[in-house]
Amino acid sequence: MLDKLFKPQSVALIGASDRLGSFGCFAAQSMIQSKDKYRFYFVNQRKPELFGIKTYPNVSALPECPDLVLITTPASSVNALLVEAAERGTRDFIVYSSGFAEDHRCNGSNLEQEMEKIARKYDLHIVGPNCCGIFNNVDKISVWGSNGNYKFKPETGVAVLGHSGGYTMGGLDRPWVNVSYGISGGNGSIISQEELAEYCVDSDAAKVLCMYMEGIKKPDTVYRLFKKCVDKKIPCVTLKSGRSQKGAISTASHTGNLAGSYEMFRAVFDKYGVLSPDGVEEYYGLEYVLETLGGNLPKRNRFAIVCRSGGEATMSADLAERYGLVLPDLDQSTKDAINEMMPDFGTAKNPLDMTAGLLGDQQKLARTFELLAADPNIDGIIAAFDFTANQVVTGYDMHSFLGEPVLNCRKKYPNIPLFMMPQYEQERDLDWRMKLKQAGVPILPPAEIGYKLMGTLVRYIEYDPSTKRLEWAVPDHFPEQAKPLTEYDSKVELAKAGIPVPKQCIARNKEELAEVCAEFGYPLVLKINSPDILHKTEAGGVRLRIQSLEEAQEAFDGILRDCRAFKPEARLDGVLVQQMAKAGQEIILGVKNDRQLGPMLLVGLGGVFVEVFKDTSLVPCPISHAEALEHLQKLKSYQLLTGYRGSAPCDIEALANLMVKVSEYAAENKNTVKEMDINPVYVYEEGEGVCVVDALILKE
Compute the mean pLDDT over every residue in the chain, rounded to the nearest whole number.
92
At 626 the pLDDT is 98
Cis ω before 129 (30° cut-off from 0)? yes
Angle at 149 (CA atoms; ends 164, 136), nearest 5 degrees: 70
Alpha helices in 21-178 (DSSP H): 23-33, 75-88, 108-122, 165-172
Query: What's the average model confidence in pLDDT over 659-672?
Result: 97
Q: How far apart are CA 22 and CA 440, in angstroms?
A: 39
Whether 260 has a pLDDT exceeding 60, the answer reads: no
308's CB contacts (< 8 A; 6+ apart) are 353, 354, 359, 384, 385
Nearest C-alpha neighbor of 351 from the set 386, 315, 322: 315
Q: Residue 23: what are its φ and ψ, rounded to 5°? A: -60, -40
In DSSP terms, 592 is beta-bridged to 600, 675
Q: Residue 57: what are its φ and ψ, rounded to 5°? A: -75, -25
Please state, for a pLDDT cut of 90, what percent of the chain lies above it. Answer: 81
Whether 259 has a pLDDT exceeding 70, the answer reads: no
At 343 the pLDDT is 85
Q: pLDDT tens, 224-242?
A: 999 999 999 999 999 998 7
The 3-state DSSP composition of the chain as helix, strand, coil percent (nearest 5) reads 40, 20, 40
Rg (CA), the chain: 31
Q: Residue 225: what are its φ and ψ, rounded to 5°? A: -60, -50
pLDDT range class, residue 395, cuts 50, 70, 90: low
Alpha helices in 131-253 (DSSP H): 165-172, 193-202, 219-232
At 252 the pLDDT is 38
The strands making up 418-420's β-sheet, listed across from edge to edge, are 352-353, 303-307, 380-383, 418-420
Whether 686 has a pLDDT exceeding 50, the answer reads: yes
Q: How far apart are CA 294 and CA 289, in angstroms?
A: 9
At 608 the pLDDT is 65
Q: Identify the three-state secondary structure at position 380.
A: strand
Whether 256 has a pLDDT exceeding 70, the answer reads: no
Q: pLDDT tens, 41-97?
A: 999 999 999 999 999 999 999 999 999 999 999 999 999 999 999 999 999 999 999
Q: pLDDT tens, 498-514?
A: 998 889 999 999 999 99
Type and span of the H or E element at 690: strand 690-692
Query: What's the average model confidence in pLDDT over 661-674?
Result: 97
Whether 244 has a pLDDT exceeding 70, the answer reads: no
Mutual orientation of helices 430-438 and 398-412 as an angle, nearest 10°?
Answer: 10
Q: pLDDT tens, 323-355?
A: 999 999 999 999 999 999 988 777 899 999 988
At 253 the pLDDT is 37
CB-based burial label for 332 (10 Å; 0-12, 13-18, 19+): exposed
Side-chain half-sphere of 493: how many Cα atoms within 13 Å?
25
Q: How far apart are CA 621 and CA 663, in angstroms?
A: 5
Q: Identify the three-state secondary structure at position 691.
A: strand
Q: Residue 553: what are its φ and ψ, rounded to 5°? A: -65, -40
At 103 the pLDDT is 77
Distances in whole angstroms, Cα of residue 63 to Cα of each of 44, 211, 232, 274? 15, 38, 43, 47
The residue that leads in pLDDT, 167 or 577, is 577
pTM listed for this prediction: 0.92
Type and span of the H or E element at 135: strand 133-136
How does strand 575-579 pair with strand 504-507?
antiparallel
38's CB contacts (< 8 A; 6+ apart) are 8, 9, 10, 11, 67, 141
Alpha carbon 73 to its chain's center: 35
pLDDT range class, residue 359, cuts 50, 70, 90: confident
Query: Where is average pLDDT lowest: 53-67, 103-117, 508-522, 578-592?
Result: 103-117
Query: Where is average pLDDT lowest: 19-23, 195-199, 516-520, 619-623?
Result: 19-23
Q: Which of 259-263, 353-357, 528-532 has the highest mean pLDDT?
A: 528-532
Q: How far apart are CA 371 and CA 374, in angstroms?
A: 5
Looking at this protein, which amino acid is placed at residue 427? E
Whether 248 has a pLDDT exceeding 70, the answer reads: no
Q: How far apart are CA 604 and CA 304, in angstroms?
A: 36
